[in-house]
Amino acid sequence: MIFDLIKKRRSVFPSSYNDKPIAKADVLKILEAANWAPTHKKTEPWRFKVMQGPSQEKLGRFLSEKYKEVEPRPKQIKVKKLLENPAKAGALIAICMQRDVKESVPEWEEIASVAMAVQNMWLCCTELGIGSYWSSPGLIKYMGEFFDLKEGEKCLGFFYMGYYKVDIPEGERTPITDKVVWLD
C-alpha cells in the first residue's frame, strides 16, 4: 500500500551502504518513476546525470578540491567525507533542473516538480530495498565546472543510492492535527 511505503521512506546515508552494486535496469526503473512526477504546463524540468564507478571517484575529487579552494579554513573531516562519500554509493545521480526557456511557470514550480520527481525516486528505492539520500551541499553552485550544464540548467543536489547494511529506525512525526487548521 502506498501509505505504508511513504511512511517507510528514510534518508539512508553513504556511510551505511555496502558494496553491492545497483543494476542499471534498477537505476532506469528509478529514473522512470521520476519521469512521472507532476509538471505544470508539461515542462518536465527534471534532468539527471548518473554516475557509477570511476565518475563517482572523479566527483569526489572535484568536491573535496573545490571545498579546499573556496573554504578559508577547510575541515579535514569534511574534505575526507566529500572525497569518499560519492564512491560509497551503488549509484549517484546529480539532480538538475532545466528552466523552461519561455519561463511559462514560476521557477519555484519547476523546482517543486524536480522535488516531486526525487520523491518518486525515493519511494521507488524504498520499494526496491535501496537506501537513498538527497544531498544539497553548498558546492552545487560550482557544478557547472564539473558537468556540461545547458543554458538554464542548474544542479540542485545529489541523490545517493546504495544497498545498506544497517537497520533503519522507524520514522517519527508530530501529529498532523498540530499542523492543520480546519476552516468551516
The answer to whether 73 is a known ligand-binding residue is no
Q: Which of 52, 35, 39, 32 is nearest to 94 (CA)?
A: 52
The answer to whether 61 is a known ligand-binding residue is no
CB proximity list for 36: less than 8 A, separation 6 or greater = 120
Q: Could you tell me if residue 53 is left (phi over 0), alpha (psi between -120 and 50 degrees) or otherwise beta?
A: left
30: how many CB neighbours lie within 10 A of its CB?
A: 26
Rounded to whole angstroms, the Cα distance separating 139 from 161 reads: 19
The answer to whether 64 is a known ligand-binding residue is no
Query: What does the angle CA 42 – CA 46 – CA 49 come to, to the nearest 5 degrees?
Result: 150
The answer to whether 134 is a known ligand-binding residue is yes
Q: Which of 18, 17, 6 is nearest to 171 (CA)?
A: 6
Lateral strand order in the sheet of 91-98:
46-51, 91-98, 153-162, 131-135
CB proximity list for 11: less than 8 A, separation 6 or greater = 132, 133, 134
- Binding-site residues from annotation: 9-11, 40, 134-136
- Binding-site residues from annotation for FMN: 9-11, 40, 134-136
